Structure 1
Amino acid sequence: MTTARKYVLETLFQGTPKKSDLKIVEETLPAIKDGEFLAEAVWLSVDPYMRTLVNSSNIGNTMIGEQVAKIIESKNDDFKVGDYIAANFGWRTKTISNGDQVRKLDRSVYTDDKLSTAFGIMGMTGATAYLAFLDICVPKEGETLVITGAAGAVGSAVGQIAKIKGCRVVGFAGSDEKVEYLKGLGFDEAINYKTMTSLKEALDKACPKGIDMFFDNVGGEFYDTIIPQMNNSGRVVIVGYMSQYNSEKPDQGPRLNPSILAKELTIRGFFIYNWLPRWPEAFKAIGEWIDKGQLKYTESITEGFDNMFDAFAGLFTGKHIGKAAVKA
């Protein structure tokens, strides 16, 4: 008999998520069948997107999320005992799977000290940074890029890729510590939005040649202010809107269509799972940049499955720098 622990939804999130919205329960798993395997979580991911998707779920469902797991029992010839995998199993300690939508990890790449990167810089995070920026922003040398949420896992990677491509990079973050982190990564300008006096003035000073590209993780006031300041033929990619995630009533921002029309801006949303066939391309390039020392990454590690919610809540209080991960 195998017992798993999992977080289930007690109530849908209203405003900022509360610990009482989730409950840890035990589940007795059946014996695996032919074609199945049993995997045990080693690392679990917490990400801002979870906040937006939970309310399309149902009470009693397992909290969503990606994990790196080790196969501990198998009746599937393609997945052996001892293999490591990445999969969207959610916040649970053990899972039975038939291998559908499971990514087996190459141990020559994902060594013991890099397993967590399978949902970080060498996983969904890295693929998002690479594909959203390069395919939608289409950077040209000398252009200026502005990134919101720049000290997060995706934003910090995007900034470094932009520097590799010869761009000027301006990032916004929520603390002096994060500003110093971004400067250490090579950002041309890093701005603490919590202490600045005027967003428009900060942009005017940091972007003397205007803004050619905007990588938006935050939305809200940033989006409303940056769009009118973009150069003609500017490109915008929207990968998140963290300023709105916990809002019970959506903000009513300015109507920006005149700026979008007059400047012929390209604005596109990005959902990473529609780009799965391109992930290997992203990982190959990112791996080479890491090996050359051109791209660095940081992980904020929380110890223990019981502390999953604390790690998740930290996403909305500015606790983490880089990728947030939980070591089971």
Structure 2
Amino acid sequence: MNQILGVKYLILFFFSIQLGVAQTLESKIDSLLQPIFQKDGPGGVFLVSKDCEPIYLKAFGKSNIELDVTMTPDNVFQIGSMTKQFTAIAIMMLEEQGKLNVNDPISKFIPDYPKGDNITIHHLLTHTSGIKDFTKMKSIMNIARKDMASKELVEFFMDEPVDFEPGEQYSYNNSGYVLLGYIIELVSGNTYEDFIETYIFEKLGMKNSRYSSDREVIKNRAYGYHKRTYGYVNKTNISYSIPFSSGALMSTANDMLKWQNAINDNELISEKTKEIIFRNYKLNSGELINYGYGWQLNETEGISTREHGGSIFGYKSMGVYVPDYDVYVVGFSNCDCNSPTKVTRDIVTLIIENLKKQT
């Protein structure tokens, strides 16, 4: 009997230690987030997963200030440039189907594109094409609210002079990812929106992810805000045909975990293709860049990370995956005044330090 009681107490002891560690970690993450997201202002949602399962999921602040609605973990956010992950994966899905190759020149799909014989899909994916980024053009606000077909959007910037020759430099470029979306449409016969919805969102059960809209009623939408010197204002309305395949998607923290898990489990692309995506590529000079296909490839605490952020009127987002520990951290904000980039990385650092102590 005493031996049985001893085993029970030992189990309870170890359980209490694990519970204490979890509570300490939770409180440390809370302490990072609470000063940024005030309870009466725009808020955020943050998720941390380990081995494909969430270990932290919390919401802060308001999803709608006017109606005094408290943020919940199920709120839907615009994810901005995190959209590029989906565009890159879609391109690689089409390559696996034999419908294109990353070394194809874009003139194969858009014959009249200037210097299209020298610019490849690879250049577009890695931001090394030299094409002018249309979001930096002064005339961008002339079309910001205009609904445009993808072909029209491409024609808006295609005759702009290039910033450099393909492969000479790395320069983050939204135009390149717009071209990728247009190529997806030309090759697949679907609109970009339908392709992502059908072959990614529906397949993975990402039921709360979609193409952005300011007109449609979207359940659990977190409303976007800007901060001015006199207070918060509603976000600027735009046509989402403009960010298109470079930044027009919406999602939730839980759906983004499904997305990350699907990549880990090769549900959309093969392991061989993943090796192509998550690789540091070289410029013509041989210099390495820290960008693969749709992900930035960095390090935290000496550990490799795959990450990407997003920023669009009224919203900011950030996601970081640590392959060595199978840790994923994703954060959303419904005010472009509160960037989740640094705090998401800080959470990753905290998690890595905690895991190192346990080994």
Give the TM-score of the pair, scaled to structure 2. Answer: 0.29
Identify, as 1 or 2, the structure richer in strand.
Answer: 1
- Point out which structure has higher relative CO (alpha carbons under 8 A, 6+ apart): 2
Task: Name which one, 1 or 2, has greater alpha-carbon Rg.
Answer: 2
* TM-score normalised per structure 1: 0.31
Task: Name whichever structure is richer in helix by fraction.
Answer: 2
